[in-house]
Amino acid sequence: MENWSLVSVCVLLGLTTRWAVSFSSYSGAGKPPMFGDYEAQRHWQEVTYNLPVQEWYFNTTDNDLGYWGLDYPPLTAYHSLLCGHVAKLINPAWVELRTSRGFESAAHKLFMRTTVLFADILIYFPAVILYCIYLSDGSSKRKVATALCILLYPGLILIDYGHFQYNSVSLALTLWGIVGLGLGWNLLGALAFSLALNYKQMELYHSLPFFCFLLGKCIKQGLMGRGLLLLVKISLTVLVTFALCWWPFLSDPQQILQVLHRLFPVDRGLFEDKVANTWCSLNVLIKIKTLLSRDTQLLLSFALTLLSILPSSIKLLTKPTLWQFKLALVSDEKPVCLMMNELPLMAVWFLLISTFSMLPLLLKDGLLLPYTVTSLAFLYLGVYLLSHQIPCLTDVFFCSNRKGALHLVFLQFTVSLVAMAGLSFTSMVLEPPARLPDLFPVLVSVFSFLHFLAMLLYFNLVQLTEPSSKKSQKKTN
């Protein structure tokens, strides 16, 4: 079969899976008064369509920030505005100021799901395909297998097409950034990542690796010559992009401050919804919530986050290659997709854990069936496809090529899978004991966090030890 048809088949399978998941329920379905993320997105369409830009981030009579106030950067707001215009054309009741609150209908759900699909097809799928074709190693079959696995990553599908989000947009923009940088189109890469930052502020996690990679490249080209020119060009690109995105808010410093205040709600604290992060897990052992003051918690959190990505970023600065860049990025879960080609077992494992970590949220949204099916499918496909593509089994385990270590890793993988399956089953079927109503979400959290920590350490180790394997040498552009 030719490559174009193989790629088309992968794309179609990815789209089919996404649309099939979209049949399921969304977050907050039929749950007044607040509903969920779906209603939040619909509300933003309402706000951005009906109100002038200056009022979007402010608390006014028409815009109650307590009811799903905008808390993403301006690009999300513009996206919502665009969707709002389309919504108005189809059915004005969907975005009617104030009266459309809590609007739910089958037609509206179809519209909302379509907007997600549209964004995916336009931005995410091309990024993935380009990445796999141009920035992955191996035969064309292996590249296609990698693309298929990335496209079928359950976490993204379940959140975007189940819970309801536009995560694929920000991830896609970041991926375009990576593709740009990997292919030597530095300005495009900088532009794309700036757009990603302006879409979701969470991308700040990845900003240090991007910064270090670009700076490293400039330094390598000599800071007293071409390197300086490149640095200036990149800086200009980033500044212009930010300026364009923030244009309506630039006239008034109050606007800028208010937007930043909405983006980084430091008042909310760190414990919102028992997510798998350090704090929740640590809190089980030491009651940080009560021990430390809020400000101390924030400072500590910031410091530790920075610390976790600092070693890899410094290494990247000294050695700005694509491989180092990818390793630095995987401190966060989603870019682990990038490792699918070089470290397939780790990638599949990590991505499954990240999907599993969202189990409490997915159960709340009634996404039990899609979660089970997509996770099983991803696991099966990942192990099957990638094991066939790898000529030598030791390739799945990067650091050592001793068979004993390999068996140990497989054993750990299997144990981890069994534990995940067991925890999933108990969360779905059993009732928690009355004394510990949050037992299962906390267990899921801690389990995921431990894995994340291990993965972070592992990737840092891989990056810093830089073994002499065929994979580590990539061209610097």
As measured in angstroms, the least distance from the Cβ of 410 to another protein is 18
Closer of 380 and 425 to another protein (Cβ):
380
Provide the mask over 19-58, with x wherever binding to another protein is found by CB under 8 A and - wherever it is not: xxxxxx----------------------------------
* Number of residues located near another protein, criterion CB under 8 A: 32
As measured in angstroms, the least distance from the Cβ of 87 to another protein is 15
What's the longest Cα–Cα distance across the chain? 68
Report the C-alpha gap between 189 and 172 in whole angstroms.
12
Provide the mask over 334-363, with x wherever binding to another protein is found by CB under 8 A and - wherever it is not: ------------------------------
Q: Are 17 and 153 in contact (CB under 8 A)?
A: no
**Residue of 143, 116, 149, 145 lying closest to 131 (CA atoms):** 143
As measured in angstroms, the least distance from the Cβ of 351 to another protein is 17
Report the C-alpha gap between 207 and 215 in whole angstroms.
12
Closer of 369 and 430 to another protein (Cβ):
369
Distances, alpha carbon 207 to alpha carbons 53, 174, 363, 404, 426, in Å = 27, 10, 32, 38, 38
Closer of 69 and 155 to another protein (Cβ):
155
The single residue among 257, 369, 408, 430 that binds another protein, judged by CB under 8 A, is 369
State which of positions 120-159 bind another protein (CB under 8 A): none
Please give the full DSSP string across 302-324, using - where no structure is assigned.
HHHHHHHHHHHHHHHHHS--HHH
Taking the CA atoms of residue 410, residue 414, residue 416 and residue 421 in that order, the dihedral angle to the nearest 10 degrees is 160
As measured in angstroms, the least distance from the Cβ of 326 to another protein is 28
Binding piece for another protein, criterion CB under 8 A, among 32-40, 214-222, 356-364, 375-383: 375-383
Q: Which letter does DSSP use for residue 124 in this model?
A: I
State which of positions 93-112 bind another protein (CB under 8 A): 106-107, 109-110
Q: Are 333 and 167 in contact (CB under 8 A)?
A: no
Q: Are 58 and 250 in contact (CB under 8 A)?
A: no
The single residue among 219, 373, 417, 419 that binds another protein, judged by CB under 8 A, is 373
Q: Which residue has the tokens 């106030």?
A: 69
Binding piece for another protein, criterion CB under 8 A, among 79-87, 170-178, 185-193, 370-378: 370-378
Give the number of other CB atoms < 10 A from CB of residue 474.
15
Report the C-alpha gap between 214 and 25 in whole angstroms.
42
As measured in angstroms, the least distance from the Cβ of 40 to another protein is 22
**Residue of 411, 416, 338 lying closest to 379 (CA atoms):** 416
Tell me: does residue 384 bind another protein (CB under 8 A): yes
By the criterion CB under 8 A, which residues form the site for another protein?
A: 1-2, 5-6, 8-9, 12-13, 15-17, 19-24, 106-107, 109-110, 113, 117, 369-370, 373-374, 376-377, 380-381, 384
